[in-house]
Amino acid sequence: MPADDKVCESSQADDYQFELKSDLESLDDRKLAVAELRSLTGADDDLEFGAATSISIKIPRGVIDISMLRSRLAFWKAARLAQLCSNDRANTDITQSLALEATAKMKPAWKTLGEKAAIPAVEARGILALSDKPSPALRKKNEYLSHPFHKYKAKFFPRLARSLINVTCPDREQIILDPFSGSGTSCVEASLMGMSSIGLDIDPLSVFISKIKANLQDIDLRGAMSAYFELVSSINSGNQASLWNKGGNYEFRLPSFLIKRRPKRLPPELITEIEREIGYIRGEIFGIEEENVKDLFLMVLSHAIATKLSLRWMGTGDDRFALEVATRPLSKIFVSHAKMVIDKLVVYQDLRSAGVVPAPGHASISVAEASKLPLPDELVDGIVTSPPYLPAASGRETYLRSRASSIMALNLMTEKEILDTETRILGSILAKVTVETANVPSDVVELAAWMRPQRERTAKADPTIAYFENLRACLGEMRRVLKRGGRAALVVSKEHTFWELTSRRIIRKFDMSKAVTE
């Protein structure tokens, strides 16, 4: 992004023009676009522009930094001074967000030097010009840079996270907190905008993934490329069989709860094949000396495992799950995804060179429970987060167990630790009510009473009360660590719909936003 804009001497330079992206999907997107613009510019509360695709705002000179706006805005394509001289306008007024989205499907060329070293073709290859009108085939707006590094259900949308950060923390020096950081989207977007962030999650795999995704500046690209070529060479050498019985890091067993179900799609010979592939690749990765590079490829291995073995709980509350097993060998999934990750790192370096991401912010991410935040009072300026789903929502009743194979492969938890921690996760079907009369909204108590007599819902009644009991504690902690006058943005479902299982007839709706507000 350009550091500043030259203005014709005859101009007062107080008229700013903003152009919306062409692919906004809803009225809510437009409302958020207005909200973030109002927050960052201090524009009048009556700022509205109906169905128009651009807007002009008069702001006294020196009040705002146009380059800052370009690096922050989420829903806007361009930000410019109306009186900017025409010969300085070409491809310099687009926002960072548009430039990032335009790189989503970039596949950069690599210049290889021998078998164990590589240098990317680092050059400012017209990223800003490319971003002006990215084609649908080129841009898939949620998959730029580190966002697609790991398979993850119910991800935060990058635009949504970015816009809410802008609404809650207009000052770049402010600190943003996400106490349910999940895949790390909020911290990634804060880092790209040059802001400091804190991400917390009870799931150690989520924390492991997020640390990498939000701190790309800490990864040595040359070291990552060298390790990539060595891993690919080793995997393709055909010597895996000689190492399968080495023990130590080369030995791995899938979770027992998965094996003892004897799923038809996972016969004994396939179990052996998958365990050997995981063990071999993991053993080779553990041989990498540079910790950041080692962690990068452990993350890729975790993604490969999650892609090979996809667990989905049935949402019935009785611990049944469906298992999908990919046909591709796990090793091929690993190699393919590792190549994509290196591609993204090359693009990231190019974006840094082009000034699109000039000074990334630092993300501090660690394991913690949102109901017991390890932070002092009034530390953060803003909170942007999306709490886990209510356990009454079909299929959203377990988190750690669906990722158990990856968690165990990375030595983050034992199977017993996974099951013990699952009971403390907000939204878990295993959660228990901790007080005789839970301090929750009356609508929730009534909902649980309605669920208990129903065979298909009785197992979720108490966990639903426990969810709101735990959520109250989490919200109390958020208030404690938020500075006086700070703002918090929570993304929750508007309502939950209950269906008659055979006819699929709607039999009840529950106002989730009202309950959370209470």
Given a cut of 60, whether residue 247 has pLDDT beyond it is no
Predicted TM-score (pTM) of this structure: 0.89
**DSSP 8-class letter at 84:** B
- Residue 269: pLDDT band with limits 50, 70, 90: very high
Given a cut of 50, whether residue 123 has pLDDT beyond it is no
SS3 (DSSP) at 310: strand
Question: DSSP letters of 57-83?
Answer: EE--TTSS-HHHHHHH-SSEEEEEETT
How far apart (Å, rounded) are the C-alpha atoms in residues 464 and 207? 26
Cβ-contact 215, 191 below 8 angstroms = yes
- pLDDT tens-place string over residues 161-216: 999 999 999 999 999 999 999 999 999 999 999 999 999 999 999 999 999 999 99
How far apart (Å, rounded) are the C-alpha atoms in residues 425 and 515? 19
How far apart (Å, rounded) are the C-alpha atoms in residues 99 and 106? 12
- Residue 363: pLDDT band with limits 50, 70, 90: very high
Strand partners, 324: 310
- Run of H or E residues at 479: helix 458-481
Strands 321-325 and 506-511, bridge-based pairing: unpaired
At residue 2, the pLDDT reads: 44
Given a cut of 50, whether residue 1 has pLDDT beyond it is no
At residue 92, the pLDDT reads: 66
The domain spans of the chain are 1-94, 218-353, 369-398+411-517
At residue 132, the pLDDT reads: 47
Given a cut of 90, whether residue 114 has pLDDT beyond it is no
Given a cut of 90, whether residue 274 has pLDDT beyond it is yes
CB count, 10 Å around CB of 136?
8
More confident residue, 89 or 314: 314
SS3 (DSSP) at 242: helix
| Amino acid identity at 192 | L
| Amino acid identity at 296 | L
- pLDDT tens-place string over residues 409-455: 999 999 999 989 988 888 888 787 766 556 888 899 999 999 999 88
Residue that has been written with the tokens 């101009």 in this structure: 11
Average pLDDT value for the chain: 85
Q: In the β-sheet with 175-178, what is the strand arrangement from edge to edge?
A: 363-367, 196-201, 175-178, 380-385, 482-490
- pLDDT tens-place string over residues 29-81: 999 999 999 999 987 756 666 677 888 887 777 778 889 999 999 999 998 87
- pLDDT tens-place string over residues 6-38: 444 445 546 888 999 988 878 899 999 999 999
The torsion angles phi and psi of 113, rounded to 5 degrees, stand at: -125, 90
Percent helix, percent strand, percent coil in the chain, to nearest 5: 40, 15, 45
